[in-house]
Amino acid sequence: MAQCVQSVQEFIQDSFVPMVAVLCSEDAEKVTRKNNLNFSELLRPFCRLTSEGHMRDPNNQVQVVKNLRISVNNVVTRPSVPASGVPGHAHRRLLSEVVLTCQPAEGGVANVITAGDYDLNISATTPWFEAYRESFLQSMPASDHEFLNHYLACLLVVSSSEAVPVEKFLKLSQEQHRIQHSGEYTNPKWFIPNTLKYYVLLHDMSQGDEQRADSVYEDMKQRYGAQGCYLLKVNSRTAAAGADEQIPDPWSQYLHKSSLQSQDQYEDPAPVVVNDTAVENNVGGTSEVDGHDSEEKDGVLVNSLDNTHPLQLDTPSDPPGSLDALRAVAVETKPPPVATGMAAATSHGACLTLNDHDRIRLFIQEFTFRGLLPHIEKNIRQLNDQLVSRKGLSRSLFSATKKWFGGGKVPEKSIAELKNTSGLLYPPEAPELQIRKMADLCFLVQLYDLAYSCYHTAKKDFLSDQAMLYAAGALEMAAVSAFLQVGAPRPYPAHYMDTAIQTYRDVSMNMVLAERCALLSAEVLKSQAKYSDAATLLIKMTSEDSDLRSALLLEQAAHCFINMRNPMVRKFAFHMILAGHRFSKAGQKRHALRCYCQAMQVYKGKGWSLAEDHINFTIGRQSFTLRQPENAVTAFRHILTNDSQQTSTQQGAFLREYLYVYKVTHLQY
């Protein structure tokens, strides 16, 4: 796999963070809207804590929580991804656009790898893969078999301009209770019945009565306790004054992603158009190109001409329609208009000063250290006490001995038999779920030793009941916890992950969870220089249901082969070809062209003329499609050689394409 910006520990830690919901009054939303932000967006850039937190484990030992990040989101009472584990149309569009908008930097420094006779210029990093991975993990739906994406707390936000703020807090509190306990909504999901409610009084400094706000806050501290409420003062300047002073805008990088998500959730399905990618997704600008139906895959419109084998050249019986396709591209020579997920002119935080930024940062710190972490600590203790009283458990799970722990093997049953048990559900109060709940709480606050013990115990119970989805979840997180334990007291149990992936994919038929598991495990294997195992795992996760996922994973597998102690150059090139083909089918033409060009470095000049012809032909077509006619001419010229091993008919087809591209190029210049 290519190098990543984050370490594997940082990546895993950021993949599973405490979830916090937000319920805002209308007046409070008006205060934040002055900055073109809602309340959760206002907080987002400040949700990573810069100082250490402390909490006590069930053995009353102080544990340090470092580099913690929380996730703050508005309450949405409908699922964004179907519970079936099959990504919906909006989810596919989001991921496709994330990859589409992340392209290699022009003139970026390549990583030169010398392997035998080869000096290969290869992308040192693949930011498009990291962007895909981040968006995929952050948009994971909440599941009933685990609690990691369930909300632990809810911020109730009221403006100080309300006539009676306390009454508004009461209404918001009742609304949260209704959403969680009425049974009307399956989403969002909540971690524990007694959700932490944290009361936030939002004061607009530019027009509010600060003395009144302070008075209301003093009353709140009497009602809710000093650790259960907060007075947040914002908007220390007017928008007009803000136009004259340049203040950093930390929101843009977060809001582009959220704008894509909201766009996908609320707009009618439409082809993705970003920057100059209208050409990439639909060559002719219509729903039909060259007489071939177009179809939608991975959220973008692609031409069915791409649904061919990656090593297949056009045959005489299909002559190849390619000139017509190239002409369709040439009809419109002007680059299409730029369209992005959000208006470039939109500014954020115009009413906020740097002091306001510091106040928001301090608010997040106070909420986390004085509200959220004590709440989690209390619930871990309560769950531990409940579990100690279970029959057969006589002491704290924290000091449990190894004799409890068995293997992670799946019961010896056929897949068909196991599928009959995959729908098993536990009631919320089931002891097995309480162990899983305690494990997830411990994992979220970096108590990895205790989390591992709980996951291991839960895994045994789930396997005993043949509750395979639950068992797979426990195996997955037990493996991750074992890897993250300080000092690595035990080796990473990769076989746990393999069993979990097989169960998710073949028993529970949930590719979303299987993909998450594979992404985590591959990153761990890569960090241990087990590139061959990582490549094998990534290749196994390719399938026909998602060209985009398959393309990204094949590309990462190719990087694994080239990064091995003895680089496997040909396997690298072969898998880059496969990745390029899948990128092309997914409508990601620029990424497809990049993959073919990197693979060409291996095949060029080695006597594999048919392979060279195929790659040059594909590069020529892709370059012309992307309005790079000079590159297209160069590529087509390489396949017109005296010693060509192609048939005369195929050579004629190549020549026609070359002449057409050459003609178009010289007409333009």
Q: What are phi and psi of 439, to 5 degrees?
A: -60, -45
Give strand pairing partners of 199. Answer: 156, 229
Residue type, 304: S
Best CA proximity match to 552, nearest among 130, 162, 94: 130
From CA 610, how far away is CA 311, in angstroms rounded? 9
Question: Residue 428 has what pLDDT?
Answer: 85
Q: What is the tens place of the pLDDT at every residue in 27-46?
A: 999 999 999 999 999 999 99
The answer to whether residue 290 is domain-embedded is no
Give strand pairing partners of 302. Answer: 295
Range of the domain at 57: 8-78+96-239+350-379
Q: What are phi and psi of 655, to 5 degrees?
A: -65, -40
From CA 109, how far away is CA 649, in angstroms rounded? 41
More confident residue, 309 or 548: 548
145 within 8 A of 470, measured Cβ to Cβ? yes
The answer to whether residue 595 is domain-embedded is no
From CA 172, how far away is CA 198, in angstroms rounded? 11
586 within 8 A of 300, measured Cβ to Cβ? yes
The answer to whether residue 535 is domain-embedded is no
Average pLDDT along the chain: 80
Q: To which H or E segment does residue 15 belong?
A: helix 8-15
From CA 441, how far away is CA 437, in angstroms rounded? 6
Structural domain count, the chain? 1
Best CA proximity match to 95, nearest among 128, 142, 143: 128
Range of lowest pLDDT (190-194, 385-389, 422-426): 422-426
Give strand pairing partners of 292. Answer: 289
Range of lowest pLDDT (288-292, 337-341, 621-625, 662-666): 288-292
582 within 8 A of 599, measured Cβ to Cβ? no
Question: Residue 283 has what pLDDT?
Answer: 31
From CA 179, how far away is CA 654, in angstroms rounded? 64
Question: Residue 79 has what pLDDT?
Answer: 52
Distances (CA, A) of 23 to 87, 173, 184: 27, 9, 17
Max mean pLDDT among 8-12, 138-142, 347-351, 387-391 falls in: 8-12
Give strand pairing partners of 151. Answer: 19, 190
Looking at the chain, the whole-number percentage of residues with pLDDT higher than 70 is 75
What does R_g of the chain's alpha carbons equal in angstroms?
Answer: 28
**How many residues make up the chain in this entry?**
669
285 within 8 A of 332, measured Cβ to Cβ? yes
Helices (runs of H) and strands (runs of E) counted in the chain: 26, 12
Question: Residue 337 has what pLDDT?
Answer: 40
From CA 366, how far away is CA 70, in angstroms rounded? 13
Q: How many of the other CB atoms lie within 10 Å of CB of 309?
A: 7
From CA 438, how far away is CA 16, in angstroms rounded? 15
Across 499-522, average pLDDT = 94
Question: Residue 273 has what pLDDT?
Answer: 30
The pLDDT confidence band at residue 657, using thresholds 50, 70 and 90, is confident
3-state per-residue secondary structure call for 268-325: CCCCCCCCCCHHHHCCCCCCEECCEEEEEECCEEEEHHHCCCCCCCCCCCCCCCHHHH
The answer to whether residue 651 is domain-embedded is no
120 within 8 A of 112, measured Cβ to Cβ? yes
**pLDDT higher than 80, residue 54:** yes
Q: What is the tens place of the pLDDT at every residue in 463-473?
A: 999 999 999 99
Cis status of the peptide bond prior to 79, with omega within 30 of 0: no
From CA 155, how far away is CA 165, in angstroms rounded? 15
More confident residue, 179 or 605: 179
Across 630-634, average pLDDT = 78
From CA 470, how far away is CA 504, in angstroms rounded? 10
Range of lowest pLDDT (74-78, 359-363, 496-500, 652-656): 652-656
Best CA proximity match to 579, nearest among 556, 551, 560: 551
More confident residue, 526 or 668: 526
The pLDDT confidence band at residue 244, using thresholds 50, 70 and 90, is low
More confident residue, 74 or 612: 74
More confident residue, 238 or 136: 136
The answer to whether residue 167 is domain-embedded is yes
Question: Residue 269 has what pLDDT?
Answer: 38
**pLDDT higher than 80, residue 667:** no
Q: What are phi and psi of 63, to 5 degrees?
A: -120, 140
Q: How many of the other CB atoms lie within 10 Å of CB of 666?
A: 10
Distances (CA, A) of 481 to 343, 454, 528: 42, 10, 16
- Paired tokens of 541: 């996760």
Question: Residue 22 has what pLDDT?
Answer: 96
324 within 8 A of 303, measured Cβ to Cβ? no
Question: Residue 284 has what pLDDT?
Answer: 33
Tell me, rounded to whole angstroms, the distance of Cα 164 from its chain centroid.
42
Across 406-419, average pLDDT = 48
Looking at the chain, the whole-number percentage of residues with pLDDT higher than 90 is 50
256 within 8 A of 82, measured Cβ to Cβ? no
Q: What is the tens place of the pLDDT at every residue in 144-161?
A: 899 999 999 999 999 999
Q: What is the tens place of the pLDDT at every residue in 268-278?
A: 333 333 333 33
- Paired tokens of 141: 């739906």
Q: What is the tens place of the pLDDT at every residue in 569-593?
A: 999 999 999 999 999 999 999 999 9
The pLDDT confidence band at residue 423, using thresholds 50, 70 and 90, is low
The answer to whether residue 574 is domain-embedded is no
Range of lowest pLDDT (311-315, 385-389, 523-527): 311-315
Question: Residue 74 has what pLDDT?
Answer: 92
| Biggest CA-to-CA distance, the chain | 90
Q: What is the tens place of the pLDDT at every residue in 247-257?
A: 778 888 777 55
The answer to whether residue 45 is domain-embedded is yes
Question: Residue 238 has what pLDDT?
Answer: 77
This prediction's pTM: 0.82
Q: What is the tens place of the pLDDT at every residue in 319-335?
A: 444 555 555 444 433 44
In sequence order, what are the residues at sequence separation of 6 or more whose Cβ sits closer than 8 angstroms to the Cβ of residue 425? 144
294 within 8 A of 302, measured Cβ to Cβ? yes
The answer to whether residue 42 is domain-embedded is yes
Question: Residue 120 has what pLDDT?
Answer: 79
Best CA proximity match to 53, nearest among 365, 442, 378, 382: 365
Give strand pairing partners of 19. Answer: 71, 151
- Paired tokens of 88: 């919906």
